[in-house]
């Protein structure tokens, strides 16, 4: 059994050879969102989902799209069937799988046959490059593993497939047994692999180790190299960029960095860093689609958006502090390292009690209302804003409520309806096995009083239905509105069930989304505030 030695970079004991430069090749973006990304906790893609994501990746300009492992599950088999009927403009679809099993002749290996049945021009095949994995995970001799790598690749090449070889656990393998790790990729190249991808599968390698090892491998390998990094030490992006700087030409990763455990290298950071920082063309003129693709994958994967994600997050170019806002209004470069539109993002000036009058005036004027920062109304609005935030209101994710607050303070808003009262009943009957909710709302529109009642899945849902029912006869456009998200945050947990809560609601229609907020010790009162603002904002927007 091979000895598992500590993880420290060792110099190869392979006899010194004259350095041979790897074959030059253009930079390649290889996306593995549909395979490695799908292995993330809480992420599931249907075959239809994967086709839609592949189309968006193709529009973005990636060069290779790894569609899945056709030998692993029926869903991936269905994807490869569907994608053959889906025209792509430039991307090449890749099937992924393992080398043959030790007990199988290559011609009879089910995994190898499934890769061929996927009918892709390119196949990425992974094999063991860490001697520890060969002896302890596979339980076979080191020489036998070399034969498995060699004949698996050679067989696929004999079937006229291009083959990329993923050297799984390569960096860990090199650090413990460099001679053997290098021999595995030498065999892969001799068998016909046209790319060798060095994988930091456990995600534990540091950037300086990546740099040193990549340079050694380049002197030993005569085909272009790739990098496949995992993020277990939060180094996947850094490791990928260091590898590219060292001469690697293919970078593998996923949109938003989704993937098993802590995720994969995040292409939404790697690509703009390549283009904007390293001046290495990657997507041509499509970089401005990056944020849209990031959001699309987040939605299809049914994940919560990471608003603090670099480049593509909603907060990536958001400014809250008064000093920051004052500066970026003069020159965005003071607190923005790139122009947001280059990646499809935008600058946002947040409204909070940290913002000065200049930031507030900028925000007000964004709504088409002219206001001088020395105007008493600006000072009054700032005081109101600070008072509300002190009470627990938060307007950063509730710009619909902020616009209504601002217009009321400026005397520029006429309410669409007046609440006369509401009542919510929650009833639990043991024999029914579930609870029921019913809400009654009384509102006044002009001189007309309207009373409506509705049931719902819960008290807030019932209140929402009753309010719409009361108002839709006056404002039929409200039928377009849907409640997208509902969040409750306890603001004073030390008071137990009597704590003040903040309710944030996200609503939308066929063309827009907006957020509203409510705060109260009574969760239904807080929900009412947010729901009422949501309706008011929709009606305000309809008038524009």
pLDDT digits (tens, 9 = 90+) for 267-296: 999 999 999 999 999 998 999 999 999 988
State yes or no: pLDDT of 467 exceeds 70.
yes
The two domains 28-300 and 392-415+475-544 share their CATH topology (first three levels equal): no
Mean pLDDT of all residues in 304-313: 91
The topology (CATH level 3) of 392-415+475-544 is Double Stranded RNA Binding Domain (3.30.160)
Asked if 124 and 155 touch (Cβ cutoff 8 Å), the reply is: no
Mean pLDDT of all residues in 220-240: 97
Mean pLDDT of all residues in 460-484: 92
The predicted pLDDT at position 21 comes to: 43
Residues 6+ apart with CB under 8 A from 31: 57, 62, 64, 65, 66, 252, 253, 254, 255, 267
What homologous superfamily is domain 28-300 in, according to CATH?
Answer: Aldolase class I (3.20.20.70)
Range name among 144-158, 293-307, 459-473 with the lowest pLDDT average? 293-307
State yes or no: pLDDT of 9 exceeds 80.
no
CA distance 422 to 525: 10
The predicted pLDDT at position 362 comes to: 62
State yes or no: pLDDT of 352 exceeds 60.
no
Mean pLDDT of all residues in 405-420: 85
Confidence of residue 25 (pLDDT cuts 50, 70, 90): low
Q: Please give the model's pTM, rounded to 2 decimal places.
A: 0.72
CB-hemisphere CA count at 13 Å for 185? 34
- Pick the closest to residue 167 from 237, 243, 227, 246 (CA basis): 227
Q: Is domain 417-471 annotated with CATH 3.30.2030?
A: no
**Domain limits, the chain:** 28-300, 318-384, 392-415+475-544, 417-471
């Amino acid at each position: 059994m091979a000895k598992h030695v500590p993880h420290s970079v060792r110099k190869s004991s392979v006899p010194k050879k004259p350095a041979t430069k790897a074959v030059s090749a253009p930079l390649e973006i290889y996306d593995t969102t549909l395979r490695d990304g799908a292995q993330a906790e809480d992420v599931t893609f249907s075959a239809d989902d994967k086709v839609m994501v592949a189309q968006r990746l193709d529009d973005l300009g990636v060069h290779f799209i790894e569609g899945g492992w056709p030998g692993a599950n029926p869903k991936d088999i269905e994807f490869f069937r569907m994608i053959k009927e889906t025209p792509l403009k430039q991307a090449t679809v890749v099937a992924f799988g393992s080398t043959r099993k030790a007990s199988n002749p290559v011609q009879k290996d089910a995994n190898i046959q499934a890769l061929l049945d996927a009918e892709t021009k390119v196949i990425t095949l992974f094999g063991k490059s860490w001697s520890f994995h060969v002896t302890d995970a596979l339980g076979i001799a080191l020489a036998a593993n070399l034969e498995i790598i060699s004949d698996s690749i050679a067989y696929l090449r004999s079937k006229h497939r291009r083959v990329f070889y993923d050297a799984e656990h390569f960096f860990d393998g090199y650090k413990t047994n460099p001679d053997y790790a290098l021999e595995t990729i030498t065999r892969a190249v001799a068998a016909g692999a046209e790319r060798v991808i060095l994988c930091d599968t456990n995600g534990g390698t540091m950037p300086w180790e990546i740099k040193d090892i990549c340079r050694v491998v380049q002197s030993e390998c005569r085909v272009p190299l790739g990098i496949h990094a995992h993020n277990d030490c939060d180094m996947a992006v850094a490791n990928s960029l260091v590898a590219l700087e060292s001469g690697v030409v293919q970078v593998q990763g996923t949109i938003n960095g989704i993937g098993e455990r802590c995720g994969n290298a995040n292409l939404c950071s790697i690509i703009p860093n390549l283009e904007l920082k390293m001046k290495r063309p990657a997507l041509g003129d499509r970089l401005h689609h990056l944020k849209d693709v990031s959001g699309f994958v987040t939605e299809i994967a049914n994940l919560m958006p990471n608003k603090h994600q670099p480049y593509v997050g909603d907060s990536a170019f958001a400014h809250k502090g008064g000093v920051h806002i004052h500066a970026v209004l003069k020159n965005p470069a003071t607190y923005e390292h790139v122009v947001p539109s280059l990646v499809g993002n935008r600058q946002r000036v947040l409204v909070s009690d940290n913002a000065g009058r200049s930031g507030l005036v900028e925000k007000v004027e964004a709504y088409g209302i002219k206001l001088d920062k020395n105007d008493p109304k600006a000072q009054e609005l700032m005081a109101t804003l600070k008072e509300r935030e002190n009470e627990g209101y938060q307007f950063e994710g509730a710009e619909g409520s902020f616009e209504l607050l601002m217009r009321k303070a400026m005397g520029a808003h006429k309410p669409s309806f007046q609440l006369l009262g509401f009542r919510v009943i929650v009833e639990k009957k043991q024999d029914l096995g579930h609870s029921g909710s019913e809400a009654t709302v009384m509102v006044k529109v002009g001189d007309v009083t309207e009373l409506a009642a509705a049931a719902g899945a819960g008290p807030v849902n019932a209140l929402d239905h009753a309010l719409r029912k009361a108002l839709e006869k006056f404002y039929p456009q409200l039928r377009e509105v849907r409640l997208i998200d509902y969040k409750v945050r306890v603001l004073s947990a030390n008071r137990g069930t009597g704590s003040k809560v903040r309710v944030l609601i996200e609503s939308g229609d066929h063309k827009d989304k907006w957020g509203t907020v409510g705060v109260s010790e009574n969760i239904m009162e807080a929900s009412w505030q947010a729901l009422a603002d949501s309706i008011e904002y929709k009606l305000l927007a309809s008038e524009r």
